Amino acid sequence: TLPSGRTAYRQLADYNNELAALATQYPTKVKQFTVKNTSLEGRTIRGIEVSHDVTTSNGKPVFLMVGLHHAREWPSGELTMEFAYDLLKNDGVDPRITNILEKARVIFVPVVNPDGFNLSRTLGYEMKRKNCRVTDGQIPTSGQCAQSANQSKGTDLNRNYSGFWGGPGASSSLTSETYRGASAFSEPESRNIQALVSANQVTTLITNHTYSNLVLREPGYAGAGNTPDEAIYKSLGDQMAAQNGYTSQFSYELYDTTGTTEDWSYYATGGLGFTFEHGANSFHPAFSNVVNYYYGSGSTAGKGNRAAFLLAAESTINPARHS
Ligand code: 0X9
Ligand code: ZN
Protein backbone atom coordinates (compact mmCIF):
# COMPACT_ATOMS: atom_id res chain seq x y z
CA THR A 1 0.00 0.00 0.00
CA LEU A 2 1.30 3.41 -0.91
CA PRO A 3 1.97 5.89 1.94
CA SER A 4 -1.18 7.86 1.05
CA GLY A 5 -3.32 4.75 0.68
CA ARG A 6 -4.40 5.81 -2.79
CA THR A 7 -5.41 3.19 -5.34
CA ALA A 8 -6.15 5.35 -8.40
CA TYR A 9 -4.46 8.21 -10.25
CA ARG A 10 -5.08 11.63 -8.79
CA GLN A 11 -6.86 14.39 -10.61
CA LEU A 12 -5.67 17.98 -10.28
CA ALA A 13 -8.16 18.71 -7.49
CA ASP A 14 -6.87 15.71 -5.56
CA TYR A 15 -3.35 17.09 -5.64
CA ASN A 16 -4.51 20.49 -4.46
CA ASN A 17 -6.79 19.13 -1.73
CA GLU A 18 -4.17 16.73 -0.42
CA LEU A 19 -1.41 19.35 -0.29
CA ALA A 20 -3.72 21.57 1.75
CA ALA A 21 -4.73 18.67 3.99
CA LEU A 22 -1.11 17.77 4.71
CA ALA A 23 -0.42 21.36 5.74
CA THR A 24 -3.38 21.22 8.11
CA GLN A 25 -2.48 17.82 9.51
CA TYR A 26 1.21 18.64 10.09
CA PRO A 27 1.33 22.38 10.87
CA THR A 28 4.87 22.36 12.28
CA LYS A 29 6.33 20.22 9.51
CA VAL A 30 4.55 21.35 6.36
CA LYS A 31 4.47 24.80 4.83
CA GLN A 32 2.21 25.16 1.84
CA PHE A 33 3.17 27.69 -0.81
CA THR A 34 2.05 28.91 -4.18
CA VAL A 35 4.53 29.88 -6.84
CA LYS A 36 4.51 33.40 -8.22
CA ASN A 37 3.01 32.91 -11.66
CA THR A 38 -0.27 31.25 -12.44
CA SER A 39 -0.35 28.89 -15.43
CA LEU A 40 -1.40 30.20 -18.84
CA GLU A 41 -5.00 29.17 -18.06
CA GLY A 42 -4.81 30.89 -14.68
CA ARG A 43 -4.26 27.96 -12.36
CA THR A 44 -2.26 28.33 -9.17
CA ILE A 45 0.85 26.16 -8.89
CA ARG A 46 1.08 24.65 -5.43
CA GLY A 47 3.81 23.01 -3.44
CA ILE A 48 4.79 22.06 0.07
CA GLU A 49 8.00 22.37 2.02
CA VAL A 50 8.62 19.62 4.57
CA SER A 51 11.07 19.88 7.47
CA HIS A 52 11.17 19.90 11.26
CA ASP A 53 10.12 23.35 12.49
CA VAL A 54 9.36 24.27 8.93
CA THR A 55 8.65 27.93 9.62
CA THR A 56 12.16 28.52 10.98
CA SER A 57 14.20 26.18 8.81
CA ASN A 58 15.41 28.57 6.13
CA GLY A 59 19.10 27.86 6.53
CA LYS A 60 18.79 24.17 5.74
CA PRO A 61 19.77 22.84 2.31
CA VAL A 62 16.98 21.70 0.02
CA PHE A 63 16.11 18.58 -1.87
CA LEU A 64 13.59 19.58 -4.55
CA MET A 65 11.32 17.04 -6.21
CA VAL A 66 8.98 17.98 -9.04
CA GLY A 67 6.56 16.11 -11.30
CA LEU A 68 4.33 16.54 -14.30
CA HIS A 69 6.31 18.88 -16.50
CA HIS A 70 4.81 16.57 -19.12
CA ALA A 71 1.05 16.24 -18.84
CA ARG A 72 0.62 12.59 -19.81
CA GLU A 73 3.30 11.34 -17.41
CA TRP A 74 0.89 10.74 -14.53
CA PRO A 75 3.15 8.56 -12.36
CA SER A 76 5.62 11.45 -12.12
CA GLY A 77 3.19 13.38 -9.93
CA GLU A 78 2.10 10.33 -7.97
CA LEU A 79 5.62 9.37 -6.91
CA THR A 80 6.31 12.97 -5.88
CA MET A 81 3.25 13.00 -3.61
CA GLU A 82 3.93 9.57 -2.16
CA PHE A 83 7.42 10.50 -1.05
CA ALA A 84 5.97 13.53 0.74
CA TYR A 85 3.44 11.36 2.58
CA ASP A 86 6.16 8.84 3.40
CA LEU A 87 8.42 11.45 5.00
CA LEU A 88 5.57 12.76 7.11
CA LYS A 89 4.20 9.36 8.18
CA ASN A 90 7.60 7.94 9.06
CA ASP A 91 9.24 10.95 10.69
CA GLY A 92 10.18 9.76 14.16
CA VAL A 93 9.71 6.14 13.04
CA ASP A 94 12.42 5.65 10.41
CA PRO A 95 15.68 7.21 11.69
CA ARG A 96 16.83 8.02 8.14
CA ILE A 97 13.73 10.12 7.61
CA THR A 98 14.00 11.78 11.01
CA ASN A 99 17.57 12.75 10.15
CA ILE A 100 16.59 14.11 6.72
CA LEU A 101 13.85 16.32 8.14
CA GLU A 102 16.09 17.54 10.94
CA LYS A 103 18.91 18.63 8.66
CA ALA A 104 17.28 19.40 5.33
CA ARG A 105 14.19 20.84 3.75
CA VAL A 106 12.35 18.82 1.14
CA ILE A 107 10.28 20.81 -1.34
CA PHE A 108 7.63 19.16 -3.50
CA VAL A 109 5.88 20.54 -6.58
CA PRO A 110 3.94 17.55 -7.90
CA VAL A 111 2.19 19.33 -10.79
CA VAL A 112 4.39 21.78 -12.71
CA ASN A 113 2.01 21.83 -15.70
CA PRO A 114 -1.55 21.89 -14.32
CA ASP A 115 -3.22 23.00 -17.59
CA GLY A 116 -1.73 20.18 -19.61
CA PHE A 117 -2.34 17.67 -16.83
CA ASN A 118 -5.99 18.67 -16.55
CA LEU A 119 -6.40 18.11 -20.29
CA SER A 120 -4.67 14.74 -20.17
CA ARG A 121 -6.20 13.40 -16.98
CA THR A 122 -9.70 14.85 -17.08
CA LEU A 123 -10.66 16.28 -20.45
CA GLY A 124 -9.72 13.27 -22.54
CA TYR A 125 -6.63 14.39 -24.46
CA GLU A 126 -4.67 11.70 -22.71
CA MET A 127 -1.50 12.05 -24.76
CA LYS A 128 -1.08 15.78 -24.14
CA ARG A 129 2.57 16.52 -23.31
CA LYS A 130 3.13 20.28 -23.44
CA ASN A 131 1.55 23.35 -21.87
CA CYS A 132 -1.37 25.40 -23.22
CA ARG A 133 0.50 27.95 -25.34
CA VAL A 134 -1.60 28.25 -28.48
CA THR A 135 -0.11 31.46 -29.88
CA ASP A 136 3.29 32.79 -28.83
CA GLY A 137 3.04 35.79 -26.55
CA GLN A 138 -0.70 35.38 -25.97
CA ILE A 139 -2.78 33.97 -23.16
CA PRO A 140 -5.14 31.28 -24.47
CA THR A 141 -8.82 32.07 -24.34
CA SER A 142 -11.10 29.84 -22.27
CA GLY A 143 -11.42 26.39 -23.82
CA GLN A 144 -8.95 27.14 -26.61
CA CYS A 145 -6.32 24.68 -25.42
CA ALA A 146 -8.80 21.80 -25.50
CA GLN A 147 -9.87 22.36 -29.12
CA SER A 148 -8.70 19.56 -31.37
CA ALA A 149 -7.05 22.00 -33.78
CA ASN A 150 -4.77 23.07 -30.92
CA GLN A 151 -3.92 19.67 -29.51
CA SER A 152 -0.49 19.58 -31.09
CA LYS A 153 0.36 23.15 -30.04
CA GLY A 154 2.12 24.19 -26.87
CA THR A 155 5.57 24.74 -25.46
CA ASP A 156 7.52 21.77 -24.14
CA LEU A 157 8.30 23.02 -20.64
CA ASN A 158 11.28 20.70 -20.63
CA ARG A 159 12.85 22.66 -23.49
CA ASN A 160 12.02 26.16 -22.21
CA TYR A 161 14.65 26.66 -19.49
CA SER A 162 17.57 28.90 -20.36
CA GLY A 163 20.35 26.31 -20.09
CA PHE A 164 21.64 25.81 -23.63
CA TRP A 165 18.20 27.04 -24.83
CA GLY A 166 17.84 26.85 -28.59
CA GLY A 167 20.48 24.15 -28.96
CA PRO A 168 20.20 20.56 -30.19
CA GLY A 169 17.23 18.37 -29.32
CA ALA A 170 14.62 21.12 -29.25
CA SER A 171 12.35 22.46 -31.98
CA SER A 172 11.43 25.98 -33.12
CA SER A 173 7.99 24.81 -34.29
CA LEU A 174 4.93 25.40 -32.07
CA THR A 175 3.43 22.11 -33.17
CA SER A 176 6.48 20.00 -32.38
CA GLU A 177 6.39 17.89 -29.20
CA THR A 178 9.74 19.45 -28.29
CA TYR A 179 8.88 23.11 -29.03
CA ARG A 180 11.32 25.23 -27.05
CA GLY A 181 9.06 28.30 -26.79
CA ALA A 182 9.49 31.77 -28.26
CA SER A 183 12.41 32.50 -25.92
CA ALA A 184 14.05 31.01 -22.85
CA PHE A 185 11.64 31.14 -19.91
CA SER A 186 8.81 32.39 -22.12
CA GLU A 187 6.41 30.20 -20.11
CA PRO A 188 5.11 30.97 -16.61
CA GLU A 189 5.31 27.30 -15.64
CA SER A 190 9.07 27.03 -16.22
CA ARG A 191 9.65 30.47 -14.66
CA ASN A 192 8.02 29.12 -11.52
CA ILE A 193 10.62 26.41 -11.09
CA GLN A 194 13.35 28.90 -11.94
CA ALA A 195 12.09 31.18 -9.15
CA LEU A 196 11.81 28.34 -6.66
CA VAL A 197 15.32 27.08 -7.33
CA SER A 198 16.71 30.60 -7.26
CA ALA A 199 15.13 31.37 -3.88
CA ASN A 200 16.35 28.22 -2.11
CA GLN A 201 19.55 26.29 -1.55
CA VAL A 202 18.69 23.36 -3.80
CA THR A 203 21.61 20.97 -3.59
CA THR A 204 19.82 17.97 -5.11
CA LEU A 205 16.90 17.91 -7.52
CA ILE A 206 14.86 15.11 -9.03
CA THR A 207 12.48 15.90 -11.85
CA ASN A 208 10.18 12.92 -12.36
CA HIS A 209 9.15 11.80 -15.84
CA THR A 210 8.01 8.63 -17.59
CA TYR A 211 9.22 6.34 -19.14
CA SER A 212 12.32 4.18 -19.89
CA ASN A 213 13.69 3.14 -16.46
CA LEU A 214 16.52 5.66 -16.47
CA VAL A 215 18.42 7.84 -14.01
CA LEU A 216 19.73 10.68 -16.16
CA ARG A 217 22.42 13.19 -15.25
CA GLU A 218 23.96 16.12 -17.10
CA PRO A 219 25.13 16.87 -19.69
CA GLY A 220 21.93 16.93 -21.69
CA TYR A 221 23.68 17.12 -25.01
CA ALA A 222 26.93 15.55 -25.98
CA GLY A 223 28.52 18.79 -27.16
CA ALA A 224 28.40 20.30 -23.66
CA GLY A 225 31.16 18.00 -22.41
CA ASN A 226 31.40 16.32 -19.02
CA THR A 227 30.46 18.38 -15.99
CA PRO A 228 33.19 19.26 -13.50
CA ASP A 229 31.16 17.27 -10.95
CA GLU A 230 31.09 14.09 -13.03
CA ALA A 231 32.65 11.91 -10.33
CA ILE A 232 30.12 12.74 -7.58
CA TYR A 233 27.28 13.16 -10.11
CA LYS A 234 27.84 9.65 -11.50
CA SER A 235 28.37 8.18 -8.06
CA LEU A 236 25.03 9.43 -6.75
CA GLY A 237 23.22 8.48 -9.96
CA ASP A 238 24.68 4.98 -9.88
CA GLN A 239 23.79 4.51 -6.21
CA MET A 240 20.20 5.58 -6.84
CA ALA A 241 19.97 3.32 -9.89
CA ALA A 242 21.16 0.40 -7.77
CA GLN A 243 18.03 0.94 -5.68
CA ASN A 244 15.40 1.37 -8.38
CA GLY A 245 17.00 -0.97 -10.90
CA TYR A 246 17.16 1.66 -13.62
CA THR A 247 20.09 2.44 -15.91
CA SER A 248 22.27 5.34 -14.75
CA GLN A 249 23.59 7.32 -17.71
CA PHE A 250 24.24 10.72 -19.25
CA SER A 251 21.06 12.39 -20.48
CA TYR A 252 22.47 12.66 -23.99
CA GLU A 253 22.79 8.88 -24.17
CA LEU A 254 18.99 8.85 -24.39
CA TYR A 255 19.05 11.69 -26.93
CA ASP A 256 20.32 15.25 -27.03
CA THR A 257 18.22 17.84 -25.23
CA THR A 258 18.64 21.53 -24.40
CA GLY A 259 16.52 23.76 -22.22
CA THR A 260 15.49 21.05 -19.75
CA THR A 261 15.08 21.71 -16.05
CA GLU A 262 18.57 20.64 -15.00
CA ASP A 263 20.20 21.85 -18.23
CA TRP A 264 19.51 25.15 -16.47
CA SER A 265 19.54 24.33 -12.74
CA TYR A 266 22.79 22.38 -12.60
CA TYR A 267 24.83 24.98 -14.47
CA ALA A 268 23.11 27.89 -12.72
CA THR A 269 23.44 26.59 -9.16
CA GLY A 270 25.75 23.57 -9.04
CA GLY A 271 23.01 21.53 -7.38
CA LEU A 272 22.97 18.02 -8.79
CA GLY A 273 19.85 17.57 -10.91
CA PHE A 274 18.55 14.22 -12.14
CA THR A 275 15.75 13.22 -14.48
CA PHE A 276 14.12 9.94 -13.45
CA GLU A 277 12.28 8.20 -16.28
CA HIS A 278 9.94 5.79 -14.52
CA GLY A 279 8.56 2.61 -16.01
CA ALA A 280 9.41 0.27 -18.83
CA ASN A 281 7.04 1.12 -21.62
CA SER A 282 4.14 3.45 -20.82
CA PHE A 283 3.55 7.10 -19.97
CA HIS A 284 0.73 6.12 -17.56
CA PRO A 285 0.14 2.41 -17.16
CA ALA A 286 -2.46 0.89 -14.81
CA PHE A 287 -2.15 2.46 -11.38
CA SER A 288 -0.93 -0.77 -9.75
CA ASN A 289 2.38 -0.18 -11.53
CA VAL A 290 2.95 2.94 -9.46
CA VAL A 291 3.09 0.79 -6.33
CA ASN A 292 5.87 -1.26 -7.91
CA TYR A 293 7.71 1.87 -9.03
CA TYR A 294 7.63 3.14 -5.47
CA TYR A 295 8.54 0.04 -3.45
CA GLY A 296 10.31 -1.96 -6.17
CA SER A 297 9.41 -5.42 -7.44
CA GLY A 298 11.30 -8.51 -8.49
CA SER A 299 15.02 -7.93 -7.98
CA THR A 300 14.37 -4.46 -6.48
CA ALA A 301 11.57 -5.53 -4.10
CA GLY A 302 11.85 -3.58 -0.87
CA LYS A 303 14.02 -0.93 -2.53
CA GLY A 304 12.59 0.83 -5.57
CA ASN A 305 12.27 4.57 -5.94
CA ARG A 306 11.54 5.01 -2.25
CA ALA A 307 15.10 3.94 -1.52
CA ALA A 308 16.51 5.99 -4.38
CA PHE A 309 14.67 9.11 -3.19
CA LEU A 310 15.99 8.62 0.34
CA LEU A 311 19.55 8.59 -1.01
CA ALA A 312 18.89 11.79 -2.93
CA ALA A 313 17.50 13.46 0.18
CA GLU A 314 20.47 12.31 2.25
CA SER A 315 22.90 13.66 -0.35
CA THR A 316 21.40 17.08 0.34
CA ILE A 317 22.66 16.97 3.91
CA ASN A 318 26.25 16.56 2.79
CA PRO A 319 26.53 17.23 -0.94
CA ALA A 320 30.24 16.44 -1.03
CA ARG A 321 29.85 12.95 0.37
CA HIS A 322 28.00 10.69 -1.99
CA SER A 323 29.72 7.38 -1.40
O1 0X9 B 1 12.56 14.48 -23.61
C2 0X9 B 1 12.41 14.76 -22.42
O3 0X9 B 1 12.06 15.86 -22.02
C4 0X9 B 1 12.65 13.67 -21.37
N5 0X9 B 1 12.03 12.43 -21.77
S6 0X9 B 1 10.39 12.31 -21.80
O7 0X9 B 1 10.03 11.04 -22.42
N8 0X9 B 1 9.85 12.25 -20.31
O9 0X9 B 1 9.85 13.44 -22.46
C10 0X9 B 1 14.15 13.45 -21.22
C11 0X9 B 1 14.95 14.67 -20.89
C12 0X9 B 1 16.38 14.31 -20.59
N13 0X9 B 1 17.29 15.40 -20.74
C14 0X9 B 1 17.88 16.02 -19.67
N15 0X9 B 1 17.50 15.68 -18.49
N16 0X9 B 1 18.79 16.91 -19.90
ZN1 ZN C 1 8.72 13.79 -19.59
Q: Are 194 and 161 in contact (CB under 8 A)?
A: yes
72 CB under 6 A from ligand 1?
no
The pLDDT of residue 170 is: 98
Measured in degrees and rounded to the nearest 5, phi and psi for residue 250 equal: -65, 145
pLDDT digits (tens, 9 = 90+) for 181-216: 999 999 999 999 999 999 999 999 999 999 999 999
Ramachandran angles phi, psi of 295, nearest 5°:
-100, -5
Distance from Cα 70 to the centre of ligand 2, integer Å: 5
How far does the centroid of ligand 2 lie from the alpha carbon of residue 210, in Å? Answer: 6
Q: What is the mean pLDDT of residues 55-84?
A: 96
Cβ of residue 204 lying under 6 Å from some atom of ligand 1? no
Is residue 284 predicted with pLDDT exceeding 90?
yes
Whether ligand 1 lies within 6 angstroms of the CB of 207 is answered as no
Work out which ligand 1 atom sits closest to the CA atom of 220.
16
**How confident is the model at residue 150, as a pLDDT?**
97
Q: With bands split at pLDDT 50, 70 and 90, how would you rate the model's confidence at 322?
A: low
Strands 46-50 and 214-217: unpaired
Mean pLDDT of 148-168: 98
pLDDT tens-digit map of 39-54: 999 999 999 999 999 9
Q: What ipTM was assigned to the predicted interfaces of this complex? A: 0.99
Q: Give residue 318's pLDDT.
A: 81
Query: What whole-number percentage of the chain has pLDDT above 90?
Result: 97
Name the residue with the closest Cα to ligand 1, atom 12.
251
Q: Quote the mean pLDDT of the chain.
A: 97
pLDDT of residue 39: 98
For residue 140, what pLDDT is reported? 98
* Active centre residues (catalytic): 277
Confidence of residue 302 (pLDDT cuts 50, 70, 90): very high
CA of 167 to the centre of ligand 1 (A): 14
- Over residues 236-254, the mean pLDDT reads 98
Q: Which atom of ligand 1 is nearest to the CA of 263?
A: 16
The 272-278 sheet, strands edge to edge: 30-34, 46-50, 105-109, 62-66, 202-210, 272-278, 214-217, 247-250
Read off the pLDDT of residues 89-105 as tens digits, 9 standing for 90 and up. 999 999 999 999 999 99
Ligand 1 site, residue 158, Cβ cutoff 6 A: yes
Share of the chain above pLDDT 70, in %: 98
Tell me if 260 CB under 6 Å of ligand 1: yes
Distance from the alpha carbon of residue 158 to the mean position of ligand 1, in angstroms? 7
Residues 6+ apart with CB under 8 A from 107: 47, 48, 49, 50, 62, 63, 64, 65, 196, 200, 202
Q: According to the model, what pLDDT value does residue 323 have?
A: 45
Look at residue 57 in the predicted model and tell me its pLDDT: 78
pLDDT of residue 78: 99
- Any ligand 1 atom below 6 A from CB of 163: no
CA of 280 to the centre of ligand 2 (A): 14
Nearest atom, ligand 1, residue 216 CA: 15
Does pLDDT of 107 surpass 80?
yes
- Supply angle C-alpha 74, 204, 19, rounded to 5: 45
